[in-house]
Structure 1
Amino acid sequence: MPLFKTIRINNDTTIFLWKITEDYNELFCQVSLKDTSLARMEKMKSESHQKGFLSIRMLLQHCGYNDFDLIYDKLGKPHLKDGKHISISHSFDFSAIALSNQNIGIDIEQVKEKVLRIAPRFMEMWHLENLSEVDQMKKATVIWGTKEAIFKIKNEVGISFPDHIFEKPFSLSDKKCKAELHFNSCIENFDVSFEEAENYILVCASHS
């Protein structure tokens, strides 16, 4: 299908969301890939990951770019050749890219029961007090996405989700929150926004 949704975060940042309804061949025929990207995709064991990879290139083309404009640094962080900041995420039926004039991080995750089982490993559990099970799943997914998005911005070895990234109190109805990264004797502040897309949570983070 075409672009699912465009989300304008602020004057600097826009997110483009794609719902993957096409089969592999449909997507493959519509994108141009450089040799290194083709080799990378062919190593992917899951067709779901391959379709996610291709749908990201569809989003790039929608925004006036293509695979040849996208480069990765030695830590795997994506960059655009024209200097525009980009962040990428894919989860099952959805892919997303964010384009911004500032360093940005996004994450999209499907809301699943599993997140509550692993929540004590990555977050402070007081965040989930007095919530229904459904809202606990959603909020835990927001917090996981927040940590992923901030990690994508910093992209430094050694950052621990439970030990270094902390979310201020927030409600799901706020659609935004504040978070801090405590790392290498520094504290950095981040603005986070989030929203639902079907049974998924999309999170976007940037420096405050």
Structure 2
Amino acid sequence: MPLIHLEEVSPQTFIGLWKIEESAEYLEKKLQLKAHELSVLRSLQGEKRNLHWLATRVLLRKMLSTEEYIDCQPDENGKPILLNLPHKISLSHSYDYAAVMISLEKEVGIDIEIIKEKIDRVKHKFLSDTELAFIEKKHNLEHLYACWCAKEALYKLNGKKETSFKDNIHLNPFIFQANGSIQASISKEGGNREFRVNYRKFGNYMLGYVKGD
């Protein structure tokens, strides 16, 4: 399981990418899973889901550089939190990759996706008409995935189930590049929060990540 990328976003915030090449049995031996975690793991359907669950937690352990037990559990909205460590975390996975973001400063969000043509069929479900208008035809799929990853990262940072990709998370127009950033906002009844989301394309994958201000 090679760590292919570790990046310092700010002095106390990091993102990590890991290519999943080992078996579920191998990864499970790298963790200190308790009964409730084993119950969740055994309830997952399919080998790939097991691998993803295990790989994100092995990567999390590596990034935290600890041999101690990591108590990672979902909160009431399903957002993963650490009960015995001060770090804010976000986890993601797609096909052969696991991605993790950790911070001692602010809430964070990360998303990784393999690029597929199917996103073109559902773009109206997560982008407003204003956002659809700035999608470049020559980079259609990549531009759409940059938008999706940005919105998913913001959704994870926000950590509230009732947040709508289309109605509450808004992206400013941007020209697609292989490595870029997007000005974005989350608008809810309580106000409007502004963010800068980073994204990058590597191989046939797109990565998006954001740290709270």
Q: What is the TM-score with the length of structure 2 in the denominator?
A: 0.89
Match of 2:180 in 1: 175
Which amino acid is the alignment partner of residue 164 of structure 2?
Answer: S
Q: Is the 8 A contact 2:61 2:70 kept in 1?
A: no
Q: Is the 8 A contact 2:199 2:207 kept in 1?
A: yes
Q: Structure 1, unaligned stretches of length 5 or more?
A: none
Partners of 1:136 and 1:145 in 2: CA distance = 14
Deviations 1:68-110 (A, max 9, x none): 3323212211122221111111111111110112111111111
Deviations 1:27-59 (A, max 9, x none): 223222121111101011121110011111211
Match of 1:94 in 2: 97
User: Considering only aligned residues, what root-mean-square deviation do their CA atoms show, in Å?
Assistant: 1.6
Partners of 1:87 and 1:185 in 2: CA distance = 23
Q: Percent identity?
A: 30
Query: Is 2:19 the partner of 1:16?
Result: no
User: How much has 1:172 moved relative to structure 2?
Assistant: 2.2
User: How much has 1:67 moved relative to structure 2?
Assistant: 5.6
Moved more, 27-36 or 91-100: 27-36
1:167–1:67 Cα change, 3 Å: farther
Deviations 1:171-195 (A, max 9, x none): 2226111101111151110110011
Moved more, 138-147 or 76-85: 76-85
Match of 1:59 in 2: 59
Q: Is the 8 A contact 1:147 1:165 kept in 2?
A: yes
Partners of 1:67 and 1:175 in 2: CA distance = 36
1:127 to 126, 130, 134: 134
> 3-state SS of the aligned residue for 1:45?
coil
Partners of 2:198 and 2:12 in 1: CA distance = 14
Deviations 1:142-176 (A, max 9, x none): 11111111111112232111111111111222611
Higher helix proportion (structure 1 or 2): 1
Deviations 1:100-129 (A, max 9, x none): 121111111111101111111111311214
Q: Structure 2, unaligned stretches of length 5 or more?
A: none
Partners of 2:25 and 2:153 in 1: CA distance = 31
Query: Is 2:211 the partner of 1:202?
Result: no
> 3-state SS of the aligned residue for 2:155?
helix
Partners of 2:190 and 2:57 in 1: CA distance = 38
User: How much has 1:206 moved relative to structure 2?
Assistant: 2.4
> 3-state SS of the aligned residue for 1:62?
helix
Partners of 1:157 and 1:110 in 2: CA distance = 24
